[in-house]
Amino acid sequence: MKEPFHLHRIEAIEHFIEEHIAEPIRLQDLSDVACLSYHRVRHFFQEMKGECLWQYVKRFRLEYAAGLLKHSRYSITDIGEMSGYATKYSFSKAFRQQFNNSPSTFQQKIELPADTLLASCNPTLLPNLEQCFRSATAQIKVIPAFTFCYRRFSHLEAKGLEEVRATAMQWTSDSSASIMITSPDVICMQRTGLLRLDIGFSLPEKERNASATGFWKKQYPAGRYAIFSFQEEAQKLPLLTYWFIHQGVRTGTFSVRNHSSVVRVQFPWHVELWIPIQ
């Protein structure tokens, strides 16, 4: 069993990598945020995650890039820079090593892991996703900057949702307070449908510098979002998020700005999906 303070250190490392994906990442930075020695941090990460620290960084960068290649209008050079590669050559070389294809080939021809996952699901699922997409209320809206206060979970669980919701009600003084769900993982690149989930709430503006015990914080800048409103059960939300992005890009309705889509849930399961768009 993983001790809570070990999990906190792992999350600190993961959060630093996520927040600095476009920048050089030094081992000293990761050892500092994890409160471990320079020599210990790599071994600690591999012991806890079963994956080499630098392989994790590389995989995280390149999955982020792969999603943008499929769902954004950025150039290959820009995507490489957004993923932490200084030159198009270094990005293309790393990408080919990871996916056995060049970025341009992947962008044009390669089926995404999420497509394979959908094909293997119950045959009734795809028509259900399509129906949900067609019936959802949609709008394009500029959302002001907000502070996301959250805890990380390995899966969606009722107890975790209720704990986060109780904290949200304390901070917002609102008995109908909504919760927000996002993921650090690039949904379209996941083969199993198992995602890490960040579940939390938007802090009131006057409390943006406050801290809630046991919660992380992330700043979301102002930007344009495609917002879809619908009713749906929790278990389908990851696949629904991918399907809405896929359909929006396929039909030319929008292209994504980044992978920080947010699901906003107003109980009992009235859902708003916020997709950041260019």
CATH number of the domain at 271, please: 3.20.80.10
- Per the domain annotation, does 124 fall within a domain? no
Structural domain includes residue 118: no
From 93, 109, 125, give the residue that closes a domain: 109
- State residue 268's pLDDT score: 65
How many structural domains comprise the chain?
2
Looking at the structure, tell me whether residues 260 and 192 fall in a common domain.
yes
Q: Are residues 243 and 139 in the same domain?
A: yes
Q: Is residue 126 part of a domain?
A: no
Among 109, 124, 142, identify where a domain stops.
Answer: 109
Q: Which domain holds residue 260?
A: 133-276
φ/ψ (deg, to 5) at 91 = -65, -50
Listed residues 49, 75, 109: the one ending a domain: 109
| pLDDT over 70, % of the chain | 90
Listed in sequence order, the residues at least 6 apart from 256 whose beta carbon sits closer than 8 Å to its beta carbon are 67, 68, 71, 72, 245, 249, 275, 276, 277, 278
- Residue 20 domain flag: yes
Residue 67 lies in a domain: yes
Integer Cα distance of 223 and 238 in angstroms: 22
The answer to the question of residue 125 being in a domain is no
Q: The CATH number of the domain where 84 resides is what?
A: 1.10.10.60
The predicted pLDDT at position 2 comes to 60
Residue 199 is assigned to a structural domain of this protein:
yes
Domain contains 230: yes
Instruction: Give the per-residue pLDDT at 170.
Output: 77
Q: Are residues 159 and 246 in the same domain?
A: yes
Report the range of poorest mean pLDDT among 133-142, 203-212, 231-240, 243-252.
203-212
Both 89 and 186 in a single domain? no
Query: Quick one: DSSP state of residue 50?
Result: S
Do 104 and 137 fall within a single domain? Answer: no
199 and 179 in contact (C-beta within 8 Å)?
yes
pLDDT digits (tens, 9 = 90+) for 15-60: 999 999 999 999 999 999 999 998 999 999 999 999 999 999 999 9
Say whether both 215 and 260 belong to one domain.
Answer: yes
* 137, 58: one domain: no
Same domain as 75, residue 31: yes
| Predicted pLDDT of residue 1 | 46
The mean pLDDT value of the chain amounts to 88
Task: Tell me the average pLDDT across 214-224.
Answer: 91
pLDDT at residue 192, as a whole number: 65
Distance CA 216, CA 147 (A): 10
Q: Are residues 160 and 205 in the same domain?
A: yes
In terms of domains, do 143 and 97 share one? no
What is residue 233's predicted lDDT score, i.e. its pLDDT?
Answer: 67
In whole angstroms, what is the distance from residue 65 CA to residue 156 CA?
A: 26
Q: Are residues 87 and 156 in the same domain?
A: no
Q: Does 193 lie in the same domain as 157?
A: yes
Looking at residues 234-242, what average pLDDT do you find?
A: 80
Q: Specify which of 62-76, 150-164, 167-181 reaches the highest per-range mean pLDDT.
A: 62-76
